[in-house]
Amino acid sequence: AAGVIQSPRHLIKEKRETATLKCYPIPRHDTVYWYQQGPGQDPQFLISFYEKMQSDKGSIPDRFSAQQFSDYHSELNMSSLELGDSALYFCASSPDSSTDTQYFGPGTRLTVL
Amino acid sequence: GEDVEQSLFLSVREGDSSVINCTYTDSSSTYLYWYKQEPGAGLQLLTYIFSNMDMKQDQRLTVLLNKKDKHLSLRIADTQTGDSAIYFCASKGGGATNKLIFGTGTLLAVQP
């Protein structure tokens, strides 16, 4: 079965640089979620989109922005990167169903040097 | 705000049953989930339970929900070394939000 695809899988950036993470949801899933997992931490919700509109917002820094495109893929843009942004970034997608069960991608490991 | 707590570590012998516990604070949680994360890997959905159920069984996995005490548990029967991983419980709140609030994760170590 098709899963959530994230790219790149690994990314190394320097402080103050920008990064763009991409997420391709499972086909026919119209909702996308972004989570950040720091080392040894539990995943923290950043932001979500439903039908290309932002549906919920969590602890996402102002330096980050995200959007969902017409083909339902999503991009997380991160600017002025800081050392503390080093983390695993997960994208999840869910169908428009009553359970809204979220299926996670493999994650993008971002390292900021 | 919402909070989800888990014990940090559990060690069992291969073939034994494992029970991982979770408590949550949001009484409006509609669904509760269990995810498995192997080292450096993504979050694999194991199972979920709707808040109006008190038990769900799926092969070796049994989920028990005590809504009154806001307590959730995951029992893994006949635990194997391949079950070694971090297990996260997560709650989905009621209302308009669909975000998941994750617990701190329980590291399950299975000894051969």
pLDDT of residue B41: 85
SS3 content of chain A, % helix, strand, coil (to 5): 5, 50, 45
pLDDT of residue A76: 98
For the ranges A78-92, B36-50, B85-99, the maximum mean pLDDT occurs at: A78-92
pLDDT digits (tens, 9 = 90+) for A24-61: 999 989 899 999 999 989 999 999 999 899 999 998 99
Tally the residues of chain B: 112
What is the token pair recorded at A51? 């039908």
User: In percent, how much of chain A has pLDDT > 70?
Assistant: 96
Chosen for mutation from B4, B99, B104 (greatest number of chain A CBs closer than 10 Å) is B99
Chosen for mutation from B100, B101, B104 (greatest number of chain A CBs closer than 10 Å) is B100
Reply yes or no on whether the pLDDT at B101 is more than 80. Answer: yes
- On whether any CB of chain B is under 8 Å from the CB of A13, the answer is no
**Residues β-bridged to residue A85:** none
B29 φ/ψ sector (left φ>0, alpha ψ -120 to 50, else beta): beta
Count of Cβ atoms closer than 10 Å to residue A38 Cβ: 13
pLDDT digits (tens, 9 = 90+) for B35-80: 999 988 889 999 999 988 999 999 999 999 999 999 999 999 999 9
pLDDT of residue A42: 92
Judged by CB atoms closer than 8 Å, whether chains meet at B45 and A107 is answered as: no
| Cα–Cα distances in angstroms (integers) from residue B53 to residues B27, B29, B48, B71, B77, in the given order | 14, 12, 10, 13, 20
Under the banding of pLDDT at 50, 70 and 90, the label for residue A10 is: very high
Amino acid letter, B95 = G
Between CA A104 and CA A93 the distance in angstroms is 7
Q: How do strand B9-13 and strand B106-111 relate by DSSP bridges?
A: parallel
Under the banding of pLDDT at 50, 70 and 90, the label for residue B94 is: low
